[in-house]
A and B are shown apart, each in its own frame.
Chain A
Amino acid sequence: MKKLDKNKLILGIAAPVLAIVAALLITSVIILATGKDPLHAYAVMADFGSKSDSQVWIINKAVPYYLSALAVAIGFRMNLFNIGVDGQYRIAAFFAAVVGGALTLPGFLQIPLIILVAMLVGSVWAGIAGVLKTTRGVSEVITTIMLNAIAAAVIGYFLQDGRLAVKDGNLFHTPNLPASSHFFTIPTQPAPLDGFLVIAVVVGFAYWFVLNRTRFGFDLRTVGQSESAAEAGGVSVKRMIVTSMLLSGGAAGLIGMPTLLGTSYNYGTDFPIGIGFTGIAIALLGRNHPVGMAVAALLWGFLERTGTQLEFEDYQQEIVGVMQGVIVLCVVVAYELVRRYGLRLQQRQVGEELAAQARKTEKAEVSA
């Protein structure tokens, strides 16, 4: 057993190391092809990325990414591909902003209310895809993509002067949240950390706990590993699909909250979009693991932070995008390779051990 555990550990580390080395090599070749020095680029990134303000920036940037990755990962663990996280968080943030902007309650009521509305709207939006899949058999990939477009259209309709938004210069946005709804920040130098970091850590822990320590989580993982075995084991796969879509959508509802409650205080035409898609990449990169995704989200933030700096050193702006893509590809490939190797290794070890046992009993029989 000891041996197997040690192998497991080595294999667990092997995959990310392999991926990062491969990604660095490929990126270096690409940078060389543009006629620049890759080592200098890495030095610039490491230097700039480790500055204190960069650290704060990276962490704040990583918080919504992490929440997005969690939302995606809930689906992934079920073998559901929730591409709609993007639409879910946007429509969730929009209606949360509308509700928040219309009310003036004390912060301890108003903030939870806004977050609750966001989670609820996100759930409903994702739940539509779940219900369509279970009742009509429509692939969630299709429905969630469509729902993204519908979400954008719904927001676009309401985000007009005289509907649910006000005009502010060239921007439309929902009425500003009252000051009581501003989320707390963690005072650090030179800039404060987003208080939503705490929520992200809590949600990450809850994700781990529910999946690994509860009956519900076991059922969910069972469906993800083998739908037929889950069905035979008594899991109602259909109900599980709807439930996990609701959960995924609820988590997606949180993605826009750091922005809404921490920086913009309204949902405007400039509200960030596309975080749902970034979440897919980060969930892949972090292998759906709560800690892995945290590391991946930080890495993503680091690359975005330092990418701008590369532009000043006359590297192409697109280099960072290429790096991000290459890393995700390398990770997916490396994990698959290591997983297969690990499975073969284990089978061989089991075979060896059994053969050794058999030889022992055979000898015993002979000597008896």
Chain B
Amino acid sequence: MHRVSKIAAAGIATAALTLSLSACGASSTESGGKDKGLGLAFDVGGRDDHSFNEAAARGADKAEKDLGVKSKMMTAKNGETEADREQRLTSLAEAGFNPVVGVGFNYGKSVNKVAKQFPKTTFGVVDSPSQAKNVYGMVFAENEASYLAGVAAALKSKTHKVGFIGGVNNALIQKFQAGFEQGVKDTDAKAKVTSEYLYANDDKGFNDPAAAKGKAKGMLDAGIDVIYTAAGQSGNGSIETVAGKKGTWAIGVDSDQYLQPGLSQYKGSILTSVMKNVDVAVYDLVKSVHDKKPLTGTKSYTLKDDGVRLSTSGGFINDIQAKIDAAKKKIASGQVKVSDTPAK
């Protein structure tokens, strides 16, 4: 037992040493507050995901062009913890970036938490509500735009079979699913919607194009001829697969994917894209900080005020535009309520 007590003593001593170490020394978060521009913290996938992050990045680019506001962009890794996200936001705020924007609902908690430590900095979070007075929450009515995508899909499908692929089965993506399914059903009662998810609860679903390829292939083989994919960067895989089969359509998400240079070889198969105007929202926030009138609170970007919309590039939906506009009008007027959770 003698040895044991010696080891225990050593352990306690080590622990004590560690504690005392952490108690002294300078903290790294003691400066901050200068206006170095926009700090943008991306979710997994990075700025070049051709989709969600890229939309935010476009807002940043516009801010630089119009307002001369520089920006710093950082990207999340797969399998991150709250601590990692908090650190990323803290580092940006600490380095003097203002505003600091977390792109993606994963940043919901961390933005609101870190914001309290930096009262002089304005924070923004996409897809999450504001819970602190210096946080601007930007939420979007994805379900409404997805409803329109459903209308388009129902009208374009020859087999009366359409598919939905979600990256991760979470509340946000379920909004896309709910709107899409409702739009299809309201347009074509005979149509059958197949909705599948890449991952149950792993954020890898947003940057695993190979998994989306497999899912899309399966749907095409089952006779589905319009596939709407809401899965961030993974959507590229689905679009690529759909482009490989004649007479089938892909519906993109977040950015106008018809215009994406990275997807240009498949653009003939991209029927339309459900666009969340994240770029507009981010630009609004940067501009407000630039103008010294920072936005706060939660702002809902809806179909009614063009916060979300359906893209028309390529002109593939020109023939059905009238019906889409009619559906839009019904939603805007409140005549149609689009559910944000899928019917079970």
Contact = CB atoms under 8 A, between A and B. Distances in A.
Chains A and B share a contact (CB less than 8 Å): yes
A308 B83 CA distance: 12
B278 to A, nearest CB: 14
A170 B27 contact: no
A264 B84 contact: no
Interface in A188-230: 188-190, 193, 197, 201, 205, 208-209
Contacts of B83: 57, 60-61, 263
A201 B28 contact: no
A309 B91 contact: yes
Interface residues of A, number: 53
A54 B28 contact: yes
Interface in B17-45: 18-19, 21-29
Contacts of B23: 52, 188-189
Interface string A140-167: 0000000000001101110111000001
Nearest to A51: B28
Contacts of A275: 79
A39 to B, nearest CB: 21
Interface residues of B, number: 50
A169 B24 contact: no
Interface stretch (B59-67, B197-205, B210-218, B302-310): B197-205
A183 interface: no
Contacts of B28: 48, 51-54
Most chain-A Cβ atoms within 10 A of its Cβ — which of B18, B74, B105? B18
B243 interface: no
Contacts of B252: none
B80 interface: yes
A52 B27 contact: yes
A53 B29 contact: yes
A311 interface: yes
Contacts of A159: 200-201
B41 to A, nearest CB: 10
A272 to B, nearest CB: 4
Interface string A54-87: 1111011100000000000000000000000000
Nearest to B172: A170
Interface of B: 4, 7-8, 11, 15, 18-19, 21-29, 72, 74-75, 77-84, 87-88, 91, 95, 105-106, 108-109, 127-129, 168-172, 197, 199-203, 341
Given A167-B341, A189-B27, A308-B91, 9 more contacts: A51-B25, A52-B27, A61-B81, A156-B200, A169-B128, A189-B22, A190-B29, A197-B15, A269-B168
8 contacts: A53-B28, A152-B199, A156-B169, A169-B108, A172-B170, A193-B19, A205-B7, A308-B87
Interface of A: 48, 50-57, 59-61, 152-153, 155-157, 159-161, 167, 169-172, 186, 188-190, 193, 197, 201, 205, 208-209, 259, 263-264, 269-270, 272-275, 277, 304-305, 308-309, 311-312, 317, 321
Question: Which 9 pairs from chain A and chain B are nearest by CB?
Answer: A156-B200, A274-B79, A170-B105, A272-B81, A51-B28, A55-B22, A170-B172, A52-B25, A53-B27
